[in-house]
Structure 1
């Protein structure tokens, strides 16, 4: 996802979206993944921001 997509998805400014992307990329780097500045994995974004289907609440609710 680009910074613009992150900003749109969360309804935040692009400058704040850059901070979020940077933080997520730092986490990915510490786990040994290669990252691209200004972009973040959509899968990781969804997972970290609790929008994914695999959150603890979603698992327990069925």
Structure 2
């Protein structure tokens, strides 16, 4: 597995071409959505699969 399981705010900012502070805002929103679905989350990190699904429309099963 070459890719990390979670994406950081810095990686998200680079990939989307946004500021790091806005990436943190998006990350908090995504983590809130995941918590409402019953998933455990890590502050400052988001599941890479969930990130790709939200921004690129790639549907994958969450673990």
Interval of TM-score (by shorter of Structure 1 and Structure 2): 0.7 to 0.9
CA RMSD of aligned residues (A): 1.0
| Structure 1 stretches lacking a partner, 5+ long | 55-62
1:34–1:53 CA distance, 2 compared to 1 (3 A):
closer
Q: Which has the higher strand share?
A: 2
Task: Return structure 1 stretches of 4+ with deviation > 2 angstroms.
Answer: none
TM-score scaled to structure 1, two decimals? 0.80
CA distance in 1, matches of 2:52, 2:42: 17
Larger radius of gyration: 1
Figure out how many residues of one structure are paired with residues of the other and give that number: 53
Greater relative contact order structure (CA < 8 Å, 6+ sep): 2
TM-score scaled to structure 2, two decimals? 0.79
Q: Which has the higher helix share?
A: 1
| Structure 2 stretches lacking a partner, 5+ long | 1-6
